[in-house]
């Protein structure tokens, strides 16, 4: 269902809740040690929202994302997804990580088609979807290339296309641009915003980069470490359609400062 979207793309209160973390705790137990990775996490993610989570290393960002992906058990509390208790991984949630995790023996187009082939879609439909996403990520000339022939940014574009091709309702992205040079990172951020503005998946995007969180998110969740907690969630009142010039604008710098003060203040 479409959410109600205002001037800034911020959803009204009546918008649907897609995901909710309710009193979620995560304790990792090793032999003699235990680490409280997450404590009392209450978090609502709305349908079609682009939500960024920012915080220092070790504050539990990856743990949060992996639990939502069904890859990590919850110690206590619950995660509700589409009004149902989350049980494990599912095709409704696509994941993109920092390490490109492409199949090295498959070409760009084969990598993107991988999940579609598993789901036994008709060949013609697979080709249409693959063509479309190769175009979205601008790699038409590289469709027959192997991952080893691509730059880091190109590989990460393929990883994003591979996730999107399966049309997941939710995209879980864990520092996907963390290893890229600044210019490629900027271009990837722009691409991600463009994809989101058109396709409107619900996105949980993890980063430790304040500027990235401010540029991408409709809201930014700020976490702190030891134990991992949510410090504050802030709405980002920036235009719905964003371009890289925005990063120089005073209102953008204000958002960055606000996040920085929550982290360091």
Q: Residues in the site for Mg ion, rule: CB under 5 A?
A: 61-62
Question: Within positions 50 to 109, which residues make up the interface with ligand ADP, using CB under 6 A?
Answer: 55, 57-63
User: CA-to-CA distance for 96 and 210, rounded, in angstroms?
Assistant: 19
Query: Least separation, in Å, of the C-beta of 41 and ligand ADP?
Result: 12
Q: Of the two residues 56 and 152, which places its CB atom closer to Mg ion in the complex?
A: 56
The number of beta carbons lying within 10 Å of the beta carbon of residue 15 is 17
Partner interacting with residue 179 (select from ligand ADP, Mg ion, none; CB below 5-8 Å by kind):
none
230's contact among Mg ion, ligand ADP, none, with CB below 5 to 8 A by partner kind, is none
35 binds, among ligand ADP, Mg ion, none (CB under 5 to 8 A by kind): ligand ADP
Nearer to ligand ADP, 110 or 260 (CB): 260
Residue placing its CB nearer to Mg ion in the complex, 62 or 107: 62
Neighbours of 95 (CB within 10 A): 22
* Residue 28 interaction partner, one of ligand ADP, Mg ion, none, beta carbon < 5-8 Å per kind: ligand ADP
Phi, psi of 230, deg, nearest 5: -85, 120
CB of 174 to ligand ADP, least distance (A): 7
Residue 168 interface partner, choices ligand ADP, Mg ion, none, CB cut-off 5-8 Å depending on type: none
Shortest CB 40 distance to Mg ion, Å: 20
How far apart are CB 172 and ligand ADP at their closest, in Å?
A: 13
Residues 220-239 close enough to bind ligand ADP by CB under 6 A: 228
Q: Does 35 bind ligand ADP (CB under 6 A)?
A: yes
CB of 174 to Mg ion, least distance (A): 6
Q: Kindly report the three-state secondary structure assignment for every residue of the chain.
A: CCCCECCCCCECCCCCEEEEEEEEEEEEECCCCEEEEEEEEEEEEECCCEEEEECCCCCCHHHHHHHHCCCCCCCEEEEEECCEECCCCCCCEEEECCCCCCCCCCCHHHHHHHHHHHCCCCHHHHHHHHHHHHHHCCCHHHCCCCHHHCCHHHHHHHHHHHHHHCCCCEEEEECCCCCCCHHHHHHHHHHHHHHHHHHCCEEEEEECCHHHHHHHCCEEEEEECCCCEEEEEEECCCCCCCCHHHHHCHHHHHHHHHHHHHHHC
Nearer Cβ to Mg ion (172/238): 172
CB of 111 to ligand ADP, least distance (A): 26
Where along the sequence are the contacts to ligand ADP (CB under 6 A)?
Answer: 28, 30, 35, 37, 55, 57-63, 228
């Amino acid at each position: 269902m479409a959410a109600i979207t205002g001037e800034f793309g911020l959803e009204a209160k009546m918008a649907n809740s897609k995901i909710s973390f309710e009193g979620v705790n995560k304790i990792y137990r090793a032999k003699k040690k235990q680490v409280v990775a997450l404590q009392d996490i209450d978090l609502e993610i709305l349908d079609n929202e682009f939500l960024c989570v920012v915080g220092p290393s070790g504050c539990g960002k990856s743990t949060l994302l992996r639990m939502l992906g069904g890859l990590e058990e919850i110690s206590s509390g619950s995660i509700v997804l589409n009004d149902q208790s989350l049980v494990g991984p599912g095709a409704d949630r696509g994941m993109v990580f920092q390490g490109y995790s492409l199949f090295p023996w498959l070409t760009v187009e084969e990598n993107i088609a991988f999940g579609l082939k598993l789901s036994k879609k008709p060949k013609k439909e697979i080709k249409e979807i693959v063509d479309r996403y190769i175009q979205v990520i601008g790699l038409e000339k590289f469709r027959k290339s192997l991952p080893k022939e691509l730059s880091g940014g190109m590989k990460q574009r393929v990883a994003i296309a591979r996730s999107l091709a399966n049309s997941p309702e939710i995209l879980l992205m864990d520092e996907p641009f963390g290893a890229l040079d600044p210019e490629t990172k900027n271009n990837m951020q722009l691409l991600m915003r463009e994809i989101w503005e058109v396709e409107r998946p619900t996105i949980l995007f993890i980063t430790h980069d304040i500027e990235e969180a401010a540029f991408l998110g409709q809201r930014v969740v700020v976490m702190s470490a030891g134990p991992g907690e949510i410090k504050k969630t802030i709405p980002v009142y920036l235009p719905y359609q964003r371009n890289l010039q925005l990063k120089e604008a005073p209102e953008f710098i204000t958002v960055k400062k606000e996040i920085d003060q929550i982290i360091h203040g």
